[in-house]
Amino acid sequence: MRKLVTDIEKSAEQQKIVDQICKAENKPSAKVSVKNLRRRGRYHGRTHTISIPLWTWGYGPEYVLWYTIHEAIHALGIMDHRTDFKRKETFWMKKFGMVPTYAKAYVKKIHSLNGECLYTRPKY
């Protein structure tokens, strides 16, 4: 029988990633929670928390990792999606073995460091 991963376990896993990024950047870590949201998650600046929607797991582990990194970059204090944000996000994605291809603010593809396509954004 396959073990079901709980929301708490998912939150703990993503918390470790955010802690690692914030510590390396000498910033206080944000508290992560995984929630059953219908829309997107986000970084909440006032409470210094990150919400990650459960639906992200449906797109695969690389997408969840990117989503976590993306919100962690916001927790570092970079709120827009311009050059500095993308530079920092790309840096951390490479640290975790991924390379992004962007479509405006968000990734449309994620590749491994050796070029294997790990995620392609669905066309709607």
Q: 6-46, pLDDT tens digit by residue? A: 777 888 999 999 999 999 999 999 999 998 888 889 999 99
Distances from the Cα of 68 to the Cα of 2, 3, 82, 123, 124, angstroms: 25, 23, 18, 22, 23
Contacts 24+ apart (CB under 8 A), 8-12: 10/34, 10/52, 10/54, 10/57, 11/52
- Judged against a pLDDT cut of 50, whether residue 117 lies above it is answered with yes
CA–CA separation, 38 vs 117, rounded Å?
27
Residue 116 carries which side chain, given as an amino acid letter?
E
- Judged against a pLDDT cut of 80, whether residue 77 lies above it is answered with yes
Q: Is the pTM of this model over 0.85?
A: yes
Secondary structure (DSSP) of 67-116: HHHHHHHHHTT--S-SHHHHHHHHHHHHHTTEEEEEETTEEEEEEETTS-
In the chain the domains, ranked by start, together with CATH numbers, are 7-98 (3.30.2010.10)
- Judged against a pLDDT cut of 80, whether residue 48 lies above it is answered with yes
